[in-house]
A = this chain, B = another copy of it.
Amino acid sequence: MEEVRKGRLSVARGLERLRGFPYEELGFATLDHHRSIRQGIPEVIYCEGKQQDQVVQIVRRMRTSGVDVLATRANPQIYEAVRRIDPRAEYNELARTIVIKAITPRLKTKGHVLILTAGTSDIAVAEEARVTAQLLGSHTSTLYDVGVAGLHRLMDKKSLLEKARVLIVVAGMDGVLASVVGGLVDRPVIAVPTSQGYGASFGGLAALLTMLNSCAAGVAVVNIDNGFGAGCLAHRINIIGTGEI
């Protein structure tokens, strides 16, 4: 603050120091090492639209900072390149995620997140959500391929539904599962439309609109195929009441 008062440091920069927001410029990317503390989640590398080299460079810098590394939408080639610089890197083929866990284990939440899918084709997005929530510290469980065409498959698991603190419902086509689950539980439901489907599903638009218009209270929606976003949000909700929060 002294430096600020004396004019040796601009107010904006001084403020940054006080807040302690370190970030690092790579030219093509500006890393935000502090986000892990401020936001509860590490900076995540969304691989689509990035060159392999760029991903590798970002991973290298993040490892130096000792934070967890999560890369989403990563193809096997990118994974190979990342594993070469850190053999601890784990690849989830379905979720297309790369995870490198930092040394200090995170605080585990008490409650758990239940992830459901309507069909088999929705599992990839569901796995992205699961990997994300787990890395952040949530316990997770899954219930896949329980779409409403065979409603009894879902009804049979009602006790499982009631035990979860947060539910993530992943569904393409008509996206109906979110409304049905939303009507059965009194917990927050995060609906993830997927681009699975054909014809008038319009790349997930049909499921998205179904979920936004859900008559069941307590349902919120994230972007089409956004498993990562759903996992983040689920953990943010799940962590409430854990430890100091």
Interface residues of A (CB under 8 A from B): 1-2, 4-5, 10-13, 15-16, 18-19, 21, 23, 27-30, 32, 35, 38-41, 44, 46, 48-50, 54, 111, 118-121, 123, 144-153, 155-156, 158-159, 165, 173-176, 179-180, 182-188, 190, 193, 195-202, 204-226, 228-229, 232-233, 236-238, 240-242
Q: Which residue of B lies closest to A174 (CB)?
A: B213
Q: Is the CB of B175 within 8 A of A210?
A: yes
Listed from nearest, the 9 A-B pairs whose CB atoms lie closest are A241-B241, A199-B224, A49-B121, A220-B220, A206-B209, A32-B150, A40-B186, A217-B232, A199-B223
Which residues from chain B contact A187 at a C-beta distance below 8 Å? 236
Q: Is the CB of A206 within 8 A of B212?
A: yes
Q: Is the CB of B145 within 8 A of A29?
A: yes
A12 and B155 in contact (CB under 8 A), knowing A39-B186, A200-B224, A240-B240? Answer: yes
Give the Cβ gap from A227 to chain B, nearest Cβ, in Å: 11
Q: Is the CB of B211 within 8 A of A174?
A: yes
Give the Cβ gap from A158 to chain B, nearest Cβ, in Å: 5
Which residues from chain B contact A211 at a C-beta distance below 8 Å? 174
**Other-chain residue from B118, B188, B210, B215 in contact with A233 (beta carbon distance below 8 A):** B188
Q: Which residue of B lies closest to A4 (CB)?
A: B1
Q: Is the CB of B196 within 8 A of A204?
A: no
Q: Is the CB of A215 within 8 A of B119?
A: yes
Q: Is the CB of B212 within 8 A of A210?
A: no
Q: Is the CB of B148 within 8 A of A216?
A: yes
Give the Cβ gap from A32 to chain B, nearest Cβ, in Å: 4
A86-B83 Cα distance, complex, nearest whole Å: 41
Which residues from chain B contact A195 at a C-beta distance below 8 Å? 199
**Other-chain residue from B46, B48, B209, B217 in contact with A228 (beta carbon distance below 8 A):** B217
**Other-chain residue from B44, B118, B152, B225 in contact with A19 (beta carbon distance below 8 A):** B152
A120 and B28 in contact (CB under 8 A), knowing A199-B224, A206-B210, A217-B41? Answer: yes
Give the Cβ gap from A115 to chain B, nearest Cβ, in Å: 13
Which residues from chain B contact A176 at a C-beta distance below 8 Å? 174, 176, 179-180, 210, 214-215
Q: Is the CB of B205 within 8 A of A200?
A: yes
Give the Cβ gap from A61 to chain B, nearest Cβ, in Å: 13
A195-B1 Cα distance, complex, nearest whole Å: 43
Q: Which residue of B lies closest to A195 (CB)?
A: B199
